[in-house]
Structure 1
């Protein structure tokens, strides 16, 4: 759902003019925004603030084309604030100082200012800090817009003084409604068959502004016959999926891939793998995560998982793209369908904690190396039992520091190869007790 409009006929001033269709179809009031009801409705954060006649500073976080700018403009109108807009891409310290000075002058005249900052995450940390005194003393009500996760991109001090409101991505129903509005504004229907219309909606990837721009292009062409999907694809370029390799989308998709593998869903894992590679992700980055999944989530339940991932890396290095991507697919599917165990991962954490807690305890004398005559005379290595010479190849000797009780860090699961490892460990534990007379 997103920045959509009421079903009433559009006013003439929205249909006329030479402005882009997306601008002509902007809503005229918050009531006309029908895609973000979780925010603008009576129970939503924005709806409650407008009803009370008082706005707090806020950060509007959402994908492109979901109505962030429209909502900011309408908020100012709804509560009678002076509206000032600037973009962090094109503005610097001098622009901010000018805006703050004008807002102070307006405040002395009894007029409060809503300052809308588009792409607010592009301001650096010190520039973001510059907003704080003016937000705190009420000189401005700040409304920032960002497509990036505010937790990563905005100062904690600024976030503590603003509500973060999340705008939703447009779904297919909302985008279809936008197309209906575009046709009413133009007074004519798009020359598309049903499949092509669905393809056009899908191509927008949730961005209403992009969809309206594509619709405007089609309307301007004055097509004589409806296009099918192939004809549409030949005419319009498909929108590239939103995916910044150093931003949140990058981490969201790699997390989804890893968790799908852990959850043994090969279909979902393959989908997220495709999402990343189609969007241009570095294959070696994906391979590194697959190796991590092999040792963290499969482990000794299937020792071949790690081998498969390293082989996929070698195959990709050898073949390159796109042929080598099939090896990545194979490794992904192997991991997703393998028996799962995080016993090694948990054992590592437990062992590391114990190592930190116990400091520098000396191993028992029987297993330390007597590399000099003096050390041998001092008892180093005395009483060591060579396991290969013991019956069954197992001596049952103590390998733990004398000041420390034996620990159990590794607990194999009863799945895959690790079930056999578990049987072995249980046999050794039982045999060790027998040899020590504890059984």
Structure 2
């Protein structure tokens, strides 16, 4: 996760006119240093795209103005500067920078790092321990950091692409401050491309549309953008200017940032669900397309849509559940990509349907009532009486068969005496539930007439 991006200009990079092919690695002839490494910021105020952290009024700037910032957790997508900022932070606080990765570091390695930090501390030097992918350590391993954080042996800076609230234990989080790194926006990506062109001394051979497409392929990742730019310079023939279609063929499109089992997955499915609930079919289709494009399991999406039909549309449009299940069956029958259109149709139907969570709310209330009162007996009148003993006990006595009653409604009591009649389902005045509400109001009036002296 060596991250890198600075504002447009030459002050932190190689002189203009120096090409990737001639910028050898330090120490003599050898392979050219990657463009991303050559453009790495040298001071915190050169870092672009994270002004909310390192700008004049940024959170990290404020922490540094008060002295040592303490232990931190950097949370954000790849290519947003987490490693670079950690290195620069060590320099700004005169701490020795030590890097480790949770992927390759075991308990024995950590103990060795801690022992070395103790030696530095006795010599009067502090240690900034940067741990990449810190969320990959299990809970017990995370606990191992607590003693050396508390006694000041190390200042811990952990980097994670996953939500620390879910992936890091509470004890570690309580001793750290979480700083959120944002994916680079169009302005930051544009500045980064301008800086790359200034450093290379040549412009990217792209049409304006292709340049915009290149930034989109980077998906907010500065390192990925610079790698793609290098690919363009290598692949373009002399005098050739690539349009968007040719660009895709040359660099091969980078997959969107999305992990089906992690934070990106939950963020997008939440956005899809809320867009449907909020009756915005356009936004719902957009988030559906994002997930489909990233390779999300189509049947997962179909199951989620069935859930939306019950949870958010409910009795306001009972047909929504039928449509959602039909979309799932259609995808099962047609497969991809044809079956995806049925999923899209269901999303639009649900987003444009009248909304009601009355059934959802009533069901939760019914579950709570059932748990609270336990196994109380229903009224004996509505119990079956298959034996003489049960008949003698009054089972089934006084039951009124609704179909034999006027308007097929008896109005008798179905609630246990220990609870009494409750009102759980309250239909809205939206969609089909308007009719249901009128029907229930009529039944309530008949019950009152029947109970009157």
Q: State the TM-score, normalized to the length of structure 1.
A: 0.96
Q: Does the CA contact (< 8 Å) of 2:49 and 2:185 recur in 1?
A: no
Q: Does the CA contact (< 8 Å) of 2:235 and 2:250 recur in 1?
A: no
Residues 1:172 and 2:186 are matched in the alignment: yes
Shift of 1:388: 0.8
Deviations 1:131-170 (A, max 9, x none): 1110110000000111111111111111111111000110
State the secondary structure of the residue aligned to 2:302: helix
Q: Does the CA contact (< 8 Å) of 1:116 and 1:142 recur in 2?
A: yes
State the secondary structure of the residue aligned to 2:432: helix
Indicate the residue corresponding to 2:164 in structure 1: 150
What does residue range 105-184 of structure 1 map to in structure 2 within 5 Å? 105-184=119-198
Residues 1:395 and 2:395 are matched in the alignment: no
Distance 2:193 2:287 in 1: 29
Could you say what the CA RMSD is over the residues aligned between the two structures, in angstroms? 1.5
Residues 1:47 and 2:47 are matched in the alignment: no
Moved over 6 A (4+): none
Q: How many residues align?
A: 437
Distance 2:102 2:13 in 1: 34
Distance 1:226 1:29 in 2: 35
Indicate the residue corresponding to 2:379 in structure 1: 364
State the secondary structure of the residue aligned to 2:128: strand
State the secondary structure of the residue aligned to 1:84: strand
Deviations 1:378-433 (A, max 9, x none): 11111111111111111111111223221100000111111111110000000111
Which one of the candidate residues 171, 178, 189 is aligned to 2:203? 189
Which one of the candidate residues 329, 333, 337 is aligned to 1:318? 333
Distance 2:59 2:116 in 1: 28
State the secondary structure of the residue aligned to 1:145: strand
Distance 2:9 2:255 in 1: 33
Q: State the TM-score, normalized to the length of structure 2.
A: 0.93
Residues 1:253 and 2:268 are matched in the alignment: yes
Which one of the candidate residues 340, 343, 353 is aligned to 2:358? 343
Indicate the residue corresponding to 2:27 in structure 1: none
State the secondary structure of the residue aligned to 1:128: helix
Q: Does the CA contact (< 8 Å) of 1:3 and 1:36 recur in 2?
A: no
Indicate the residue corresponding to 2:304 in structure 1: 289
State the secondary structure of the residue aligned to 1:360: coil
Q: Does the CA contact (< 8 Å) of 1:39 and 1:47 recur in 2?
A: yes
Which one of the candidate residues 27, 41, 45 is aligned to 1:31? 45
Distance 1:137 1:210 in 2: 39
Distance 1:263 1:83 in 2: 48
Distance 1:422 1:48 in 2: 57
Q: CA 1:221 to 1:319, structure 2 compared with 1: closer, same or farther past 3 Å?
A: closer
Distance 1:391 1:11 in 2: 89
Shift of 1:319: 1.2
Distance 1:8 1:266 in 2: 43
Q: Does the CA contact (< 8 Å) of 2:131 and 2:159 recur in 1?
A: yes
Structure 1 gaps, min length 5: none
Residues 1:10 and 2:25 are matched in the alignment: no
Distance 2:361 2:129 in 1: 50
Distance 2:343 2:369 in 1: 37
Shift of 1:344: 0.2
Distance 1:12 1:266 in 2: 46
Q: CA 1:222 to 1:257, structure 2 compared with 1: closer, same or farther past 3 Å?
A: closer
Q: CA 1:378 to 1:165, structure 2 compared with 1: closer, same or farther past 3 Å?
A: same
Q: Does the CA contact (< 8 Å) of 1:10 and 1:185 recur in 2?
A: no
